[in-house]
Chains A and B, each alone.
Chain A
Amino acid sequence: GIDCSGDSRMCCRKEFFVDFKEIGWEDWIIQPEGYHMNYCTGLCPLHMAGIPGLAASFHTAVLNLIKANNADAAVDSCCVPTQRRPLSLLYYDRDSNIIKTDIPDMIVEACGCT
């Protein structure tokens, strides 16, 4: 997958870090210090459809051209997460018990076109 940088308009992963201290949650969330709430954004032109991330090889480029020429056969394509990982939290609950849990699929690692 590709990380968004500069004025890239193609499908990419936008990093966004939520610092728990900044939002006043550091008193009840012991670990970690924040949450990487990355998200996918950018365009998925039809000839990019179905390829995780951006074209990175000659073969893929040719495949894209074939797809582009048959554009009318293709349907819409969206920029979505292709890899995600859990968010591990150590936090206090209402009774001041300490809970450790891994929330699955909370952090986007990579994006690609459907």
Chain B
Amino acid sequence: APKGAWCPACGLAALAPTTQRDALIALAKQSILTKLRLQDRPNITHPTSRGALLTALHRMRAQRVDVAVSPGMPHDGSIPHLRPGMGLQEYEILSFAESGSSTSRSVRLHFHFTRELTGSTEILQATLYLFWAVPGPRTRPVTVRLLQPDAMGLNMTVASKTWLKVQRPGWATLDVGQAVQSLFGQGSQRLTVELEVPEDWGSPVLAGRSDSHWPFVAAQARARTPHRVQRR
């Protein structure tokens, strides 16, 4: 740069090495947080166990290979797999269930999604994974209700209801893409799943939270295309 003029790139070189390093680290932090649409770094209250994380990642990969949708949710027009966005940032989200209220024959599970995601992304697909530890086949199905808060946010309304036949112990999947998409559309951040088992089942037999078979929702989302104003 001409004498005396301030050269942005040189400015850094003029700093003392430690000051330069601090400036670069601050820049790196800010850059990552901005790109993740975070105000500040999140504080982790209950990290997921490594076992549950690895099991979930393995299940998602196996599911992709099978490309088989579970017998549970009838295809009620789930989200059409939108063409992968050219260059738009995509997200894979793993949301592990938080236990809600339960009775002798039903249990509620809550799945939370942050505002950063619900406000700026569109859901491409979402799948609920449930692991049944029942000893043997059950003739009568489990009732699965997807609940979401009503307009006032006071009561829970049934967004959809389906029946899940559990033939043997193991993982079952349900397509919840439509429900999660409509949640995001209403600006809500919590999906509630209610599982109700027939009388002869005893309590809903789901693995415990500490176990690596805890229920989770795996979703794929994509950043919304920036709103373009067409000038005519």
Selecting from B46-54, B145-153, B177-185, the interface stretch reads: B46-54
Which residues of chain A come closer than 8 Å to B41, judged between CB atoms? 25, 28
- Given A27-B47, A28-B41, is A93 in contact with B35 using a C-beta cutoff of 8 Å? no
Q: Flag if A18 contacts B44 (CB, 8 Å).
A: no
Q: Flag if A97 contacts B29 (CB, 8 Å).
A: no
Which secondary structure characterizes the binding site on chain B? mixed
- Taken residue by residue from 88 to 114, chain A's Cβ proximity to chain B (1 for < 8 Å, 0 otherwise) reads as 010111111111111110100000000
Residue B90 interfacial (CB < 8 Å):
yes
Which residues of chain A come closer than 8 Å to B139, judged between CB atoms? none
Q: Flag if A96 contacts B25 (CB, 8 Å).
A: no
Residue A79 interfacial (CB < 8 Å):
yes
Residue A16 interfacial (CB < 8 Å):
yes
Q: Flag if B31 contacts A95 (CB, 8 Å).
A: no
Number of A-B contacts (CB under 8 A): 92
Residue A41 interfacial (CB < 8 Å):
yes
Which residues of chain B come closer than 8 Å to A95, judged between CB atoms? 95, 112-114, 189
Residue B116 interfacial (CB < 8 Å):
yes
Q: Flag if B36 contacts A103 (CB, 8 Å).
A: yes
Bound-complex Cα distance A96 to B216 (A):
12
- Given A18-B25, A102-B90, is A35 in contact with B48 using a C-beta cutoff of 8 Å? no
Residue B42 interfacial (CB < 8 Å):
yes
Q: Flag if A41 contacts B92 (CB, 8 Å).
A: no
Q: How many residues of chain B get a CB closer than 8 Å to chain A's CBs?
A: 38
- A20-57 contacts to B, CB under 8 A, are 23, 25, 27-28, 30, 35, 37, 39-41
Q: Flag if B47 contacts A91 (CB, 8 Å).
A: no
Which residues of chain B come closer than 8 Å to A30, judged between CB atoms? 53
Residue B96 interfacial (CB < 8 Å):
yes
User: Contact check: which of A37, A103, A106 meets B24 at CB < 8 Å?
Assistant: A37
Contact surface of B with A, Cβ cutoff 8 Å: 9, 12-13, 24-25, 27-29, 31-32, 35-36, 38, 41-48, 53, 56, 87, 89-96, 112-114, 116-117, 189
